[in-house]
């Protein structure tokens, strides 16, 4: 069996995209995805994304396997890439898609300048929604102390359909992600593990971010993480509601709307190459 694929990246967060519209389950196993994501012996990617038939009145369904074989609820950079991929498959003038994900219905819209704006929905802020045991189920986790690696960190937790733990630091460049990231990800207060964002505030409208992604490790960008970080910035008084988030792979524009309380993410998604998996 041969499988066609297309490689995309969103600010360096890279994915293998597969047309899976002919059946409702991914045509690859998590173990096969791990091999394909391996950068020395496979194609190389942070994850494999499948474009499946729509569900619950959606145009499409998104499934994703991380490079470690785990399956996240969704991926912000990945869904921008998926929108570009779908537009290429359909080859029509449609610019907006309703995509069913494990985090609910997500709506990306292709812009004339090549950017993609995504309606990410409303953030979830209660401890039970993250989930985390840092507070009681019906409380928010805002600027709470958390002991990690022998140090107390002030953390704020947000779910964008997937869990995020955000901490504000003086200088993101000195954070040893490879060392500290796994300790956050696997901390006992996060029963489903967590993504972790380290944020340096340049000014209320501009922040720098580095991220350790659950199931993928240190990546060049994380869309849901950028969204969660702006929410955390507003909750802690560190940022405005419209913020440029600078990641190692480039910048995302994030807005937490005062009108509908939804998060809107705008950023690039670029096709790299196509190929065949034998």
**Are 117 and 132 in the same domain?**
no
**Are 65 and 170 in the same domain?**
no
**Are 232 and 164 in the same domain?**
yes
User: Residue 1 has what pLDDT?
Assistant: 78
CATH number at residue 251: 3.10.310.10
* DSSP characters over 109-172: EE-TTS-EEEE----B-BGGGTT-SSS-TTSB--SEEEEETTEEEEEEEEESSSEEEEEE-S-G
Q: Is 222 a catalytic residue?
A: yes
**Are 159 and 97 in the same domain?**
no
Catalytic residue chosen out of the listed positions 75, 157, 227, 251: 75
Q: Which two tokens stand for residue 238?
A: 């560190």
User: Residue 93 has what pLDDT?
Assistant: 87
Burial class of residue 133 in the structure, from the number of CB atoms within 10 Å of its CB (0-12 exposed, 13-18 middle, 19+ buried): middle
**Are 34 and 74 in the same domain?**
yes
Tokens 């600010």 correspond to what residue?
A: 11
User: Residue 40 has what pLDDT?
Assistant: 97
The strand pair at 13-19 and 47-53 is best described as parallel
User: Residue 55 has what pLDDT?
Assistant: 80
Q: Is 75 a catalytic residue?
A: yes
Q: Outline where 9-115 has alpha helix (H).
A: 30-37, 76-90
**Are 116 and 7 in the same domain?**
yes
**Are 78 and 174 in the same domain?**
no
Burial class of residue 73 in the structure, from the number of CB atoms within 10 Å of its CB (0-12 exposed, 13-18 middle, 19+ buried): middle
**Are 132 and 31 in the same domain?**
no
Number of residues in the chain = 278
Q: Which two tokens stand for residue 67?
A: 């490079």
Q: Which residues contact 248 (CB under 8 A, 6 or more apart)?
A: 12, 210, 220, 221
Q: What residues make up the domain containing 162? A: 127-261
The gap between the terminal CA atoms of the chain, to the nearest Å, is 6
d(CA 11, CA 22): 30
**Nearest partner of 251 among 233, 229, 272, 274, judged by Cα:** 229
Q: How many domains does the chain have?
A: 2
Instruction: Find out whether 211 and 218 touch, Cβ atoms under 8 Å.
Output: yes
Catalytic residue chosen out of the listed positions 81, 222, 227, 251: 222
**Are 162 and 257 in the same domain?**
yes
Q: pLDDT tens track of the chain, all 278 residues?
A: 799 999 999 999 999 999 999 999 999 999 999 999 999 999 999 999 999 999 878 999 999 999 999 999 999 999 999 999 999 999 988 999 999 999 999 999 999 999 999 999 999 999 999 999 999 999 999 999 999 999 999 999 999 999 999 999 999 999 999 999 999 999 999 999 999 999 999 999 999 999 999 999 999 999 999 999 999 999 999 999 999 999 999 999 999 999 999 999 999 999 999 999 98
**Are 90 and 190 in the same domain?**
no
């Amino acid at each position: 069996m041969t499988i066609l694929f297309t490689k995309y990246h969103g600010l360096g967060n890279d994915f293998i995209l597969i047309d899976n519209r002919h059946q409702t389950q991914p045509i690859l196993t998590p173990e096969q995805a791990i091999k394909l994501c391996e950068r020395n012996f496979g194609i190389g990617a942070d994850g494999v994304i499948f474009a499946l038939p729509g569900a619950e009145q959606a145009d499409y369904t998104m499934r994703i396997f991380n490079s470690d074989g785990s399956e996240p609820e969704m991926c912000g950079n990945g869904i921008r890439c998926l929108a570009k991929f779908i537009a290429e498959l359909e080859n029509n003038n449609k610019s907006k898609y309703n995509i069913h994900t494990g985090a609910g219905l997500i709506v990306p819209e292709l812009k004339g300048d090549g950017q993609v704006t995504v309606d990410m929905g409303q953030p979830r802020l209660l401890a039970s929604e993250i989930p985390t045991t840092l507070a009681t189920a019906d409380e928010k986790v805002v600027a709470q102390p958390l002991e990690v690696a022998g140090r107390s960190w002030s953390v704020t937790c947000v779910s964008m359909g997937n869990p995020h733990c955000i901490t504000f630091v003086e200088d993101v460049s000195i954070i040893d992600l490879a060392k500290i990231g796994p300790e956050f990800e696997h901390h006992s207060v996060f029963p489903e593990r967590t993504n972790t964002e380290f944020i340096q505030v340049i000014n209320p409208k501009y922040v720098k971010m580095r991220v350790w992604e659950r199931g993928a490790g240190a990546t060049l960008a994380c869309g849901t993480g950028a969204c969660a970080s702006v929410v955390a910035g507003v909750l802690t008084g560190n940022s405005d509601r419209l913020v440029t988030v600078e990641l190692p792979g480039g910048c995302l524009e994030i807005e937490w709307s005062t009108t509908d309380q939804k998060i809107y993410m705008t950023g690039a998604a670029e096709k790299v190459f196509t190929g065949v998996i034998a």
